[in-house]
Amino acid sequence: MSVATEFAPGLTIQNITAPQKLSAYKLIAFDMDSTLITIECIDEIADATGKKAEVAAITEATMRGEITDFKDSLRQRVGKLAGVTQADMARVLAERLQLSPGAHTLVKAAQNAGLKVLLVSGGFTYFAEHVRDLLQIDFVRANVLEMDNGVLTGGLVDQPWGDICDGAEKRRTLLEVASLLGIDAAQCIAVGDGSNDIPMMQAAGLSVAYHAKPRVRAEAKVCINLGGLDRLLEVLQ
Protein backbone atom coordinates (compact mmCIF):
# COMPACT_ATOMS: atom_id res chain seq x y z
CA MET A 1 0.00 0.00 0.00
CA SER A 2 1.31 3.45 -0.90
CA VAL A 3 2.13 5.92 1.85
CA ALA A 4 0.10 9.11 1.64
CA THR A 5 2.00 12.35 1.19
CA GLU A 6 0.86 15.50 2.94
CA PHE A 7 0.21 17.93 0.10
CA ALA A 8 -0.92 20.68 2.48
CA PRO A 9 -2.02 20.67 6.14
CA GLY A 10 -4.99 18.30 6.44
CA LEU A 11 -4.79 17.36 2.75
CA THR A 12 -2.99 14.20 1.63
CA ILE A 13 -2.42 12.58 -1.76
CA GLN A 14 -1.17 9.19 -2.89
CA ASN A 15 -0.41 7.72 -6.33
CA ILE A 16 -1.03 11.04 -8.09
CA THR A 17 0.89 14.16 -8.98
CA ALA A 18 -0.68 17.48 -8.12
CA PRO A 19 -1.91 19.98 -9.00
CA GLN A 20 -3.93 18.58 -11.88
CA LYS A 21 -6.46 20.21 -14.19
CA LEU A 22 -10.08 20.00 -13.02
CA SER A 23 -11.13 20.30 -16.66
CA ALA A 24 -9.33 17.02 -17.44
CA TYR A 25 -12.31 15.31 -15.78
CA LYS A 26 -15.87 15.19 -17.12
CA LEU A 27 -17.97 13.83 -14.22
CA ILE A 28 -17.83 14.28 -10.46
CA ALA A 29 -19.89 11.92 -8.28
CA PHE A 30 -20.71 12.68 -4.66
CA ASP A 31 -22.05 10.67 -1.78
CA MET A 32 -24.62 12.73 0.11
CA ASP A 33 -24.78 12.05 3.86
CA SER A 34 -21.70 13.37 5.71
CA THR A 35 -20.20 14.33 2.34
CA LEU A 36 -22.31 16.87 0.42
CA ILE A 37 -24.33 17.51 3.59
CA THR A 38 -23.26 17.57 7.22
CA ILE A 39 -25.76 15.05 8.63
CA GLU A 40 -26.73 11.40 8.29
CA CYS A 41 -30.39 11.88 7.38
CA ILE A 42 -31.51 8.46 8.60
CA ASP A 43 -30.13 9.17 12.08
CA GLU A 44 -31.95 12.50 12.25
CA ILE A 45 -35.25 10.96 11.05
CA ALA A 46 -34.90 8.30 13.75
CA ASP A 47 -34.75 11.07 16.34
CA ALA A 48 -38.50 11.53 15.77
CA THR A 49 -39.12 8.00 17.09
CA GLY A 50 -36.60 8.25 19.95
CA LYS A 51 -34.31 5.75 18.24
CA LYS A 52 -31.54 8.04 17.03
CA ALA A 53 -28.78 6.50 19.18
CA GLU A 54 -29.75 2.98 18.15
CA VAL A 55 -29.89 3.81 14.45
CA ALA A 56 -26.76 5.99 14.55
CA ALA A 57 -24.74 3.14 16.05
CA ILE A 58 -25.69 0.88 13.13
CA THR A 59 -24.94 3.68 10.65
CA GLU A 60 -21.50 4.30 12.15
CA ALA A 61 -20.58 0.60 12.15
CA THR A 62 -21.73 0.30 8.54
CA MET A 63 -19.74 3.32 7.38
CA ARG A 64 -16.63 2.00 9.15
CA GLY A 65 -17.07 -1.29 7.29
CA GLU A 66 -17.74 -3.35 10.41
CA ILE A 67 -21.20 -4.25 9.06
CA THR A 68 -20.54 -5.39 5.51
CA ASP A 69 -24.08 -6.03 4.25
CA PHE A 70 -25.28 -2.50 3.52
CA LYS A 71 -28.68 -3.63 2.25
CA ASP A 72 -29.45 -5.56 5.42
CA SER A 73 -28.15 -2.70 7.55
CA LEU A 74 -30.33 -0.19 5.71
CA ARG A 75 -33.44 -2.37 5.97
CA GLN A 76 -32.84 -2.74 9.72
CA ARG A 77 -32.53 1.01 10.18
CA VAL A 78 -35.44 1.92 7.91
CA GLY A 79 -37.61 -0.55 9.81
CA LYS A 80 -37.07 1.55 12.92
CA LEU A 81 -38.52 4.60 11.14
CA ALA A 82 -42.07 3.21 10.98
CA GLY A 83 -44.49 5.86 12.23
CA VAL A 84 -42.38 8.88 11.29
CA THR A 85 -44.60 11.44 9.59
CA GLN A 86 -44.00 13.58 6.53
CA ALA A 87 -44.05 16.57 8.89
CA ASP A 88 -41.18 15.01 10.88
CA MET A 89 -39.23 14.59 7.64
CA ALA A 90 -39.91 18.18 6.65
CA ARG A 91 -38.54 19.38 10.00
CA VAL A 92 -35.31 17.44 9.50
CA LEU A 93 -34.94 18.98 6.05
CA ALA A 94 -35.71 22.52 7.21
CA GLU A 95 -33.91 22.54 10.56
CA ARG A 96 -31.01 20.09 10.31
CA LEU A 97 -29.96 19.61 6.68
CA GLN A 98 -27.02 21.83 5.78
CA LEU A 99 -24.57 21.68 2.89
CA SER A 100 -21.05 20.78 3.90
CA PRO A 101 -18.54 23.63 3.96
CA GLY A 102 -17.20 24.24 0.47
CA ALA A 103 -19.84 22.09 -1.24
CA HIS A 104 -21.34 24.92 -3.25
CA THR A 105 -17.90 26.26 -4.22
CA LEU A 106 -16.63 22.87 -5.41
CA VAL A 107 -19.77 21.99 -7.35
CA LYS A 108 -19.86 25.40 -9.03
CA ALA A 109 -16.17 25.17 -9.95
CA ALA A 110 -16.74 21.71 -11.43
CA GLN A 111 -19.71 22.94 -13.44
CA ASN A 112 -17.74 25.95 -14.68
CA ALA A 113 -14.97 23.57 -15.80
CA GLY A 114 -17.50 21.59 -17.86
CA LEU A 115 -18.09 18.63 -15.54
CA LYS A 116 -21.46 17.00 -15.01
CA VAL A 117 -22.42 16.29 -11.40
CA LEU A 118 -23.87 13.06 -9.98
CA LEU A 119 -25.30 12.60 -6.49
CA VAL A 120 -25.44 8.88 -5.69
CA SER A 121 -26.60 8.04 -2.20
CA GLY A 122 -27.51 5.20 0.09
CA GLY A 123 -29.82 7.77 1.64
CA PHE A 124 -33.19 8.94 0.43
CA THR A 125 -34.67 10.80 -2.51
CA TYR A 126 -36.68 13.03 -0.15
CA PHE A 127 -33.43 14.77 0.81
CA ALA A 128 -31.35 14.04 -2.30
CA GLU A 129 -33.79 15.84 -4.58
CA HIS A 130 -33.66 18.89 -2.30
CA VAL A 131 -29.85 18.90 -2.49
CA ARG A 132 -30.08 18.43 -6.26
CA ASP A 133 -32.15 21.59 -6.52
CA LEU A 134 -29.85 23.58 -4.21
CA LEU A 135 -26.76 22.75 -6.25
CA GLN A 136 -28.29 22.26 -9.73
CA ILE A 137 -27.00 18.68 -9.86
CA ASP A 138 -27.44 16.79 -13.15
CA PHE A 139 -28.08 13.21 -11.99
CA VAL A 140 -29.43 11.70 -8.74
CA ARG A 141 -29.79 8.12 -7.56
CA ALA A 142 -31.00 7.33 -4.03
CA ASN A 143 -33.47 5.15 -2.16
CA VAL A 144 -37.20 5.80 -1.83
CA LEU A 145 -38.86 5.56 1.58
CA GLU A 146 -42.28 3.91 1.49
CA MET A 147 -45.03 6.14 2.83
CA ASP A 148 -48.72 5.47 3.47
CA ASN A 149 -51.03 8.42 4.13
CA GLY A 150 -48.11 10.64 5.07
CA VAL A 151 -46.51 8.12 7.46
CA LEU A 152 -43.39 5.99 6.88
CA THR A 153 -44.15 2.27 6.84
CA GLY A 154 -40.60 1.16 7.66
CA GLY A 155 -40.08 -0.14 4.13
CA LEU A 156 -38.44 0.92 0.88
CA VAL A 157 -39.90 1.18 -2.61
CA ASP A 158 -38.26 -0.88 -5.35
CA GLN A 159 -37.14 1.17 -8.35
CA PRO A 160 -36.60 0.22 -12.01
CA TRP A 161 -32.85 -0.13 -11.48
CA GLY A 162 -33.15 -2.30 -8.36
CA ASP A 163 -34.07 -2.35 -4.69
CA ILE A 164 -31.38 -0.49 -2.72
CA CYS A 165 -28.57 1.88 -3.70
CA ASP A 166 -25.62 0.23 -1.97
CA GLY A 167 -21.91 0.28 -2.77
CA ALA A 168 -22.27 -1.96 -5.82
CA GLU A 169 -25.10 0.20 -7.17
CA LYS A 170 -23.07 3.37 -6.60
CA ARG A 171 -20.28 1.92 -8.72
CA ARG A 172 -22.71 0.75 -11.39
CA THR A 173 -24.40 4.16 -11.48
CA LEU A 174 -21.08 5.98 -11.88
CA LEU A 175 -20.15 3.74 -14.81
CA GLU A 176 -23.65 3.98 -16.31
CA VAL A 177 -23.62 7.78 -16.27
CA ALA A 178 -20.08 7.81 -17.67
CA SER A 179 -21.27 5.59 -20.51
CA LEU A 180 -24.23 7.89 -21.18
CA LEU A 181 -21.82 10.82 -21.38
CA GLY A 182 -19.45 8.91 -23.66
CA ILE A 183 -16.51 9.18 -21.26
CA ASP A 184 -14.10 6.77 -19.60
CA ALA A 185 -14.13 5.93 -15.89
CA ALA A 186 -10.68 7.55 -15.77
CA GLN A 187 -12.40 10.89 -16.46
CA CYS A 188 -14.59 10.53 -13.34
CA ILE A 189 -14.05 11.80 -9.80
CA ALA A 190 -15.77 10.03 -6.87
CA VAL A 191 -16.10 11.70 -3.47
CA GLY A 192 -17.26 9.89 -0.33
CA ASP A 193 -16.70 9.15 3.33
CA GLY A 194 -18.00 5.64 4.09
CA SER A 195 -17.24 2.04 3.18
CA ASN A 196 -20.15 1.86 0.74
CA ASP A 197 -18.40 4.58 -1.32
CA ILE A 198 -15.29 2.46 -1.89
CA PRO A 199 -16.60 0.56 -4.97
CA MET A 200 -17.30 3.78 -6.91
CA MET A 201 -14.05 5.32 -5.68
CA GLN A 202 -12.13 2.30 -6.99
CA ALA A 203 -13.84 2.63 -10.38
CA ALA A 204 -13.17 6.35 -10.80
CA GLY A 205 -10.03 7.95 -12.16
CA LEU A 206 -9.72 10.11 -9.04
CA SER A 207 -11.01 9.06 -5.62
CA VAL A 208 -11.52 11.59 -2.83
CA ALA A 209 -12.11 10.79 0.85
CA TYR A 210 -13.82 13.60 2.74
CA HIS A 211 -13.44 13.49 6.56
CA ALA A 212 -13.65 9.75 5.97
CA LYS A 213 -13.33 6.51 7.87
CA PRO A 214 -9.80 5.00 7.97
CA ARG A 215 -10.68 2.22 5.52
CA VAL A 216 -11.89 4.80 3.01
CA ARG A 217 -8.86 7.04 3.43
CA ALA A 218 -6.61 4.07 2.66
CA GLU A 219 -8.35 3.65 -0.72
CA ALA A 220 -8.41 7.32 -1.76
CA LYS A 221 -5.96 9.22 -3.94
CA VAL A 222 -6.93 12.48 -2.19
CA CYS A 223 -7.91 12.77 1.48
CA ILE A 224 -9.47 15.95 2.82
CA ASN A 225 -9.06 15.60 6.57
CA LEU A 226 -9.38 19.27 7.54
CA GLY A 227 -11.53 22.00 6.02
CA GLY A 228 -14.26 21.91 3.40
CA LEU A 229 -14.94 20.10 0.16
CA ASP A 230 -13.51 23.02 -1.80
CA ARG A 231 -10.04 21.99 -0.63
CA LEU A 232 -10.08 19.60 -3.58
CA LEU A 233 -9.50 22.72 -5.68
CA GLU A 234 -6.00 22.90 -4.19
CA VAL A 235 -5.26 19.61 -5.97
CA LEU A 236 -7.38 20.25 -9.07
CA GLN A 237 -6.89 23.72 -10.47
Q: Where are the domains of the chain?
A: 5-39+99-235
Active-site annotation holds for 31: yes
Q: What letter would DSSP give residue 3?
A: P
Produce one character per residue of 58-81: b if its CB has 16 or more CB atoms within 10 Å, e if not: bbeebbebebeebbebbeebbebb
Does position 18 have pLDDT exceeding 60, yes or no?
A: yes
| CATH class of residue range 5-39+99-235 | alpha beta
Does position 92 have pLDDT exceeding 70, yes or no?
A: yes
Asked whether the beta carbons of 232 and 224 are under 8 A apart, the reply is: yes
Does position 160 have pLDDT exceeding 90, yes or no?
A: yes
Q: Catalytic one among 31, 43, 88, 197?
A: 31
Measuring CA to CA, which residue among 205, 169, 201, 209 is closest to residue 185? 205
Mean pLDDT, residues 90-100: 97
Q: Residue 130 and residue 134: Cα distance in Å, rounded? A: 6
Q: Catalytic one among 33, 43, 88, 197?
A: 33
Residues 6+ apart with CB under 8 A from 10: 224, 225, 226, 227, 231
Residues 6+ apart with CB under 8 A from 95: none
Helix (H) or strand (E) holding 232: helix 232-235
Q: What pTM was computed for the model?
A: 0.95
pLDDT of residue 1: 45
In the sheet with 188-192, reading across from the earlier edge strand, the strands are 5-8, 11-13, 222-224, 206-210, 188-192, 27-30, 116-124, 139-148, 151-157
Q: What is the pLDDT of residues 96-138, one digit of tens each?
A: 999 999 999 999 999 999 999 999 999 999 999 999 999 999 9
Helix axes 52-64, 70-79, angle to 10 degrees: 170
Side chain identity at residue 215, one-letter code: R
Measuring CA to CA, which residue among 97, 106, 105, 110 is closest to residue 33? 97
